[in-house]
Structure 1
Amino acid sequence: MTSEVNHDFLNQLLKKAQMPSQHNLSLGDLKLLASAFLPTGAEAPSLRPKAYVVLSAICQGARSSQKKEKDENAATHLLVQIFAPLVVQLFGETDHVSLLTGAAFLTALFQVDPQSATSIFVRDGLVENVTDSVELSPSPELSIEITHLLGLACGHKACRAVISTQIVQWLDFTTQQTTEPALQIASSLALIKLSKGAASDPPENGTPNVPAGRMYSLAITMCEAITSRETESCLDAVEGLAYLSTDPVLKDQFAKNPPFLTELFGLVPTKKMAVQKGDTNTSLIYGVVAIIYNLISYRPRLNEEQEQMEKLKRMAKVAPPQSNNEASTLDDDEHVKARIGLLITAGVLPVFAAAITFTDSAGIRQNAARSILCIVEEKENRGKVLQAGGAKVLQAVIKQSLSASNSGAKSSMPSISSQELDAFQALAKLSITSSPVQVFGPNIGAIYDVIRPFSILLQHPSSNLLQRFETVMALTNLASHSPDIASRIAKADGLVDKVELLLLEDHVLMRRASVELLCNLIAGSDEIFDRYSGDSPNVASKLHIFLALSDVEDVPTRLAASGALATLSPAPNVCKALTKLQFDKHRFFPIITQLLDPTSLVDTEDAIMDTNPGLVHRAAVCIANVFGNTKDKAIRDIISREAKACGLVEALIRVAKGEGVTKDAPILHQATQALKLLKE
């Protein structure tokens, strides 16, 4: 039948398929199209891709014609009318070629339009004809094609309901036939998909049970197919392992099998020569990266309500408690960390760069980024990831996400999904603990480019508190690199406004990170310095927040907040605002005094706040600038009296004499200068 099919015929059929009406496709046309999916024949490899294009065009045309009705069922019904007569006729024959053609075509339809393929598969009598075909024309070739068809069908709930126990027994029997490796692996994949589907199907669906304990023996079969380099069955084996690698027990077994990991990683080409030869298989690479992610993914971090729901779900399960406990233990953070270490040792890190280089799959990019995010969770892994080019991988993934989002102006929030934020977060983690040059290289343009992704992650409506925290930490590190970078961060649309809101967060670390970033921006960006020191009515309220944060228990937060005040205090407007805060709230001098000497304002029975030389230095700078910038004699008299009343003068004297927490000469000199200005 293949001899009657050629590229010219498929091109003509493609033109017919693109016409408004689907009624111009005859049964003869469809039969010839179906023959192009046959796995054998000299022209099969070149005809099959074009045949998929034609089949896809037919399905898209049918669905487009029903768009006005907005009824998916109507489109599916139309496709069933087009294809069902052909499938029923082919499986009604007894000759080998017709049966093989029917299996190959329905397999292709499952891949192109699973809704119509499912509707055809569940028709009365079709499954029986499919299984009878193996007995009518027994051959390894037909058995493999039927097994592939069953494997695809097992991925759909409605199809699983019509799978009989006899089919399961036949699949189980063929998984043990080592003389036909391709058939053995294909049958194993079908059983795995049936078992995984049965776990989520309700009892009334009628999904048959897979023999107990078979998953572990099937896992061995799949691993052996990889380690023995069974190229013909490699794709099926990888797909089966992608399903199996979600099981905690099997995760541990796979990770502790170095030969298997080495061969698995070797399936991803690392040389451009492979691409030039056309050897790259996107589905295979996707499966490899999916397995890697399954092995090293942490359990989702749940809030209290979600944890309670999970407990209720576990209590409702009928599985023995011991098995639940074992699975839970093998999937805890310590076991995940151990598996990550084993995969790094086995050479997983170069796989990600190769995977995204040789394919253009969004799924591969996303799984690569998610995997890197898991790996860089541990700080000691981050240097290894950087050495393997992990930052470049993440930058490439982010660039693709931003390009695909079709955002207009750079200031607008692009349509990035919450899943795509994993790449942004992973790059932020790397940027926290390493210098910008280590992460982005000597090219300053790469550092400039990452500011926008970090701004997006910080402001994205789906970002969680951890992602926002890590983004602020990364931006803080970038801002400290140079004033130029700090200025560019300050200009990112909406970024500073968001950080100012985060100053009010209840979470201590989030609040600390936000004030540290603002402190760095004030020191490095003229724009932000002016924002906090100009004559705007908002300046006083902004300074009031910094003053309040200089009085919290968390010492790093106090250091950053008082550091911001010290940096701003040379500006006359800031000194006026701080003096006004003292007159209105009577809090400025007491807080400064406590920074200089925590014992000066509390009874001996009260808790004494920690202090350190940094806090003393910042307080001395602030008070020296306020005294020095206050020229009005009446105001100077008032602040002098209030400074003495709250013990500020005594605290300065103790610091100047070296009786405080620091003996550092510059700090003592600063305190002396403050005292001198106060007396003047």
Structure 2
Amino acid sequence: MSSQKTTNDGVDASVPASLGAGVHKNASLEDQTLLLLARLMEGGQEDEETCRELNTLTKLLSDDSEEETRSPQPHKPLHELMDADCVETLLGYLDMRQSPTVRGHATLATSAYLKASGEQGVEYLSNFFYSRVGKATYDDFIFAFSVAACIFPVVPDVIATLFLSEGFVSSLGPLMERKWKSKKVEQAALEMLNAACMNTPCREAIRKYCTEWLEKIVSDVPAAPVNVPSPERHLVAEDGPIQQRIHSEKVRNLAAVVLAKLQAVPSTPSDGTEERIQPATTSMEDLSFMFKNMLTADSSQQSSIEGLAYASLQPKVKEDLASDKSFLKNLVAALKEAPAKSPATYGALSILVNLTTYMPALSEEQKRMTQLKAYANASKSTAKPDPLNDDEHVARRCQAVFEAGVIPVLVTHSQYGSTASLTLVVSIVFSLSKTPQIRGQIAQQGGVKLLLHAFSTFPSSNTSAQRTTAHALARILISTNPTHVFGGSTALPLTSAIRPLLLLLTDDPTVEQRDLLPVFESLLALTNLASTSDSARNPIIRLAFPQLEELLLSRNKLVTRATVELLCNLMLSPECVAKFADGSKPASHRLHILLALADAEDLATRRAAGGALASLSEWDTAVNAMLERDRGVAILLALCREDSEELRHRGVVCVLNVVSAPAKVGEWGVRKVREAGGVEALKECLKMSRSQEVLEITVLALQKLIPEGGGGGGGTE
């Protein structure tokens, strides 16, 4: 058969121009639909043709159920053309004995029908299920269970009601434990249970009635096949050989996955039912070991990945998986080979997310609230956070995942994956980026390109995903040279990183209490970018200056410091200088704040503010504004008396620029510096300094201030 053009789920996305042979182009929409249904009911076609027919039916039903796409031609609603026999025919294509491609198309067609038909469709589906289960033949069980497994995600409430019908779940174990069993019935039943675990009441019912049976399947691995005795050959069912107490590998794998799902989500029994729930004797660690061994086998890889996606929620399992280098390499290799937008891709990414995710950091207020809740619920639970989930353990797991070579594979999947898988990819990179030592390698392997692509792909309404992406980008750009990331042959413009970083400076509308860590790390990354050229500095100034003004006054010392450091680099741009020295009242206010920060308690903040003032004082309009402030000169001279050589350097540069300003501004500067004790301050600076550059600048400033040294006015010599 020729290959199919597929959508995310491997389902044909193309819609044929005609409805196939035998349909006249002028036939009414009703006639076209009836002919299509007749061909599907007749069957006997190649899978490729069946998929096309099912795909066409999906489009007809979907278009007809929406007012915008419904045909203006008067016609009976198309879903009403399908009676109970038509619906059963459609459901027949969901049978597990059909090819996966056909089942995929049939799932979409059934979903479109149920959406269009409403209560009538639910009634047909319910009647089908009860009828087939009531017949109680192996063939009918396979059919009914297959349909339930496929349709559960489509109409979970409807199938859950059928699943929870009195006596249904409780009879599954005895049914499957008959002396002579059908492998395909077991497989169909387990696929149904696997899907049913998504629903809480169904999951509790499975836990209650099926745990013992599931554990028997998982543990029952015979040393050699036991053949059906020849006198019993007449008991062979329609679906194939029936064997005594034998479970196929696929059945054992499915049973293990269901057990993993049951154990991953704690039970919430109602009062009086605790003793009726069967306790699990197979531990999650046992299941994890089984899944690991299954990963390298092509026939069981999907079950392995699905099971580990749940098992890896457990801290002990996380540690075991992350410490197994061979397993991690196999998992990354499986992810590399998995098709885009496939269950295998999503499952493998989920495992990596579980291994690498850090516990959320709590503020002091949040910690207090957590403690109060723990006291209030003391009678219910006093469980403490598992130490295997602390930052130290997660950091080691992140290092192990990174060393397994995951970044290049994530880069590839980010280009072709769904939005859901891209969210997982970003989450993994975000966790890895917390380790400073590997940030440069993440960038080298394409991590920055991945994050910029993700940021542009996520819709603006998905604030959480965009902010996580931007935060990961900020972390990487803190620790890397921007010219290495954006320079050379790379097609990435440096400015493409600015908009994501600026997003982090704004409040997050999805949280009650603002987290300042993303703000701080964004400021550090922007400072790094602003060290390159005005092509990076000017967009930051134009887009974010109001936020920077606000952050200068932050009550958080680290945020204030990072903001001043960014301003120090931005001050190399004339656009930033104008914000402080254009003679306006707002500019004067900004300069007042900057001068105050040069006198702050925090040394790093004083150093950054001093650097900004050193650049700013190269402009005579800025010098004039400094001289207008009452304490402006005093603050500059205080820098010259600092114990730190770096701060003295900034101070003497500022003083030299003030006394060297042209014309009357320079003359005024000389007078004010002298009056503020500038000569004594600079002489003290000479005694304290060892740097040749600081000494030379200090001498030049003194020559401007001491009349015998060549003048008491401004201007240059």
TM-score band, normalised by shorter chain: 0.7 to 0.9
Query: Structure 2: how far apart are the matches of 1:317 and 1:422?
Result: 34
Whichever residue aligns with residue 286 of structure 1, its letter is Y
Match of 1:459, SS state, is: coil
Is 1:421 matched up with 2:476?
no
1:262 is matched with which residue? 329
Is 1:329 matched up with 2:387?
yes
Query: Structure 1: how far apart are the matches of 2:689 and 2:100?
Result: 83
Q: 1:107: Cα distance to partner?
A: 0.7
1:54 is matched with which residue? 109
1:542 is matched with which residue? 590
2:533 is matched with which residue? 482
2:452–2:496 CA contact under 8 A, matched in 1 = no
Match of 1:138, SS state, is: strand
Is 1:363 matched up with 2:420?
yes
Is 1:456 matched up with 2:503?
yes
User: 1:595 is matched with which residue: 633, 636, 639?
Assistant: 639
Is 1:508 matched up with 2:557?
yes
Match of 1:266, SS state, is: helix
Q: 1:465: Cα distance to partner?
A: 1.0
- Structure with a larger share of its residues in helix: 1
1:652 is matched with which residue? 682
User: 1:108 is matched with which residue: 150, 157, 163?
Assistant: 150
2:670–2:704 CA contact under 8 A, matched in 1 = no
1:283 is matched with which residue? 343
1:398 is matched with which residue? 455
Higher deviation after alignment, 473-482 or 342-351: 342-351
Match of 2:365, SS state, is: helix
Q: 1:197: Cα distance to partner?
A: 3.2
Is 1:189 matched up with 2:257?
yes
1:391–1:440 CA contact under 8 A, matched in 2 = no
Distance 1:439 1:467, change over 3 A: same
Q: What 5-or-longer segments of structure 2 have no aligned partner?
A: 1-40, 66-76, 222-246
Is 1:672 matched up with 2:716?
no
Distance 1:283 1:670, change over 3 A: farther
Whichever residue aligns with residue 443 of structure 2, its letter is L
How many residue pairs get matched?
619
Match of 2:286, SS state, is: helix
Query: Structure 2: how far apart are the matches of 1:653 and 1:342?
Result: 57
Is 1:353 matched up with 2:401?
no
User: 1:388 is matched with which residue: 442, 445, 453?
Assistant: 445
Q: 1:296: Cα distance to partner?
A: 1.7
Whichever residue aligns with residue 651 of structure 1, its letter is A
Distance 1:203 1:576, change over 3 A: farther
Q: 1:475: Cα distance to partner?
A: 0.9
Q: 1:209: Cα distance to partner?
A: 4.4
Q: 1:183: Cα distance to partner?
A: 0.9
Query: Structure 2: how far apart are the matches of 1:379 and 1:628?
Result: 44
2:64 is matched with which residue? 19
Q: 1:85: Cα distance to partner?
A: 1.2
Query: Structure 2: how far apart are the matches of 1:555 and 1:182?
Result: 65
Distance 1:320 1:503, change over 3 A: closer
Q: What 5-or-longer segments of structure 1 have no aligned partner?
A: 63-74, 406-413, 599-610
1:245–1:295 CA contact under 8 A, matched in 2 = yes
User: 2:361 is matched with which residue: 301, 315, 319?
Assistant: 301
Match of 1:538, SS state, is: helix
Distance 1:99 1:9, change over 3 A: farther
Q: 1:547: Cα distance to partner?
A: 0.3
Query: Structure 2: how far apart are the matches of 1:203 and 1:9?
Result: 51
TM superposition score normalised by structure 1: 0.83
Whichever residue aligns with residue 597 of structure 2, its letter is L
Q: CA RMSD for the aligned pairs?
A: 3.1
1:605 is matched with which residue? none
Query: Structure 1: how far apart are the matches of 2:506 and 2:429?
Result: 22
1:342 is matched with which residue? 400
1:80–1:119 CA contact under 8 A, matched in 2 = no
1:121–1:159 CA contact under 8 A, matched in 2 = yes
Match of 1:269, SS state, is: helix
Percent of aligned pairs with the same residue?
27
1:243 is matched with which residue? 310
Q: 1:616: Cα distance to partner?
A: 2.3
Higher deviation after alignment, 288-297 or 178-187: 178-187
1:252 is matched with which residue? 319
User: 1:431 is matched with which residue: 459, 465, 477?
Assistant: 477
2:648 is matched with which residue? 616
Distance 1:8 1:537, change over 3 A: closer
Q: 1:293: Cα distance to partner?
A: 1.6
Is 1:219 matched up with 2:288?
yes
Match of 1:502, SS state, is: helix
1:153–1:160 CA contact under 8 A, matched in 2 = yes
TM superposition score normalised by structure 2: 0.79
Match of 1:19, SS state, is: helix
Distance 1:61 1:496, change over 3 A: farther
Q: 1:542: Cα distance to partner?
A: 0.3
Distance 1:317 1:597, change over 3 A: same
Query: Structure 2: how far apart are the matches of 1:98 and 1:281?
Result: 32
Whichever residue aligns with residue 450 of structure 1, its letter is A
Q: 1:362: Cα distance to partner?
A: 1.6
Q: 1:501: Cα distance to partner?
A: 0.8
Q: 1:25: Cα distance to partner?
A: 2.7
Higher deviation after alignment, 16-25 or 464-473: 16-25
